[in-house]
Structure formats: structure tokens, C-alpha cells
Amino acid sequence: MIEKFYLLKYLSEQIMNTKVSQMTIDELREVIGLVVEEKLATLFGGNEDELEFTDELQEILSRQSREIENGERGESLEEVAGRLSLD
């Protein structure tokens, strides 16, 4: 997994030297995929065999949960339905 992480990091750095406006849709998807995979590897500790939450991921999830409970994040089903004229 470590080797894959460094390969992904190298590829993403090489691709990022290109402007987004110069990329094809497939290239942009590849970059997004690499960035997401890199972030997940960071948050899960980079070891596929032992997927445990890192302290950073646990803090992010806890913070988001508190924000949702306090109404600071997200929308209720009723709000979304009203906004989309589905009520």
C-alpha cells in the first residue's frame, strides 16, 4: 500500500502541473480519483489490511455529527423537497 501511495502522489503531482482547463474529462476524473484515494489512505492510516479510523478521521466525523445535530450542516428532507418543488 505504501508503494501505491507514493505512486499515486507522484502521478497526481505530475498531472497537477497541467491546468484543469487543458484536461480531458477522463484526465480530470483520474486526478479526482487519485486525490480521493490519497485522502482515504491518509485518513485510514494507509494500510489496507487494518482499516481503522485515524484520530484525524474520528475528529472530522465527530465534528460533522455535532454540526448536523446543531443544525449547522445539512438540510432536512422537507427543506430539500421544498427547494426541488417536490412537496
Q: How far apart (Å, rounded) are the C-alpha atoms in residues 87 and 83?
A: 9
Q: In this predicted structure, what is the pLDDT of residue 4?
A: 64
Q: How far apart (Å, rounded) are the C-alpha atoms in residues 43 and 53?
A: 7
Q: How far apart (Å, rounded) are the C-alpha atoms in residues 50 and 58?
A: 16
pLDDT tens for the 87 residues of the chain, in order? 556 666 666 766 666 666 778 878 888 888 888 888 878 777 776 666 666 777 888 888 888 888 888 888 777 778 888 888 876
Query: Where in the chain are the domains?
Result: 2-83
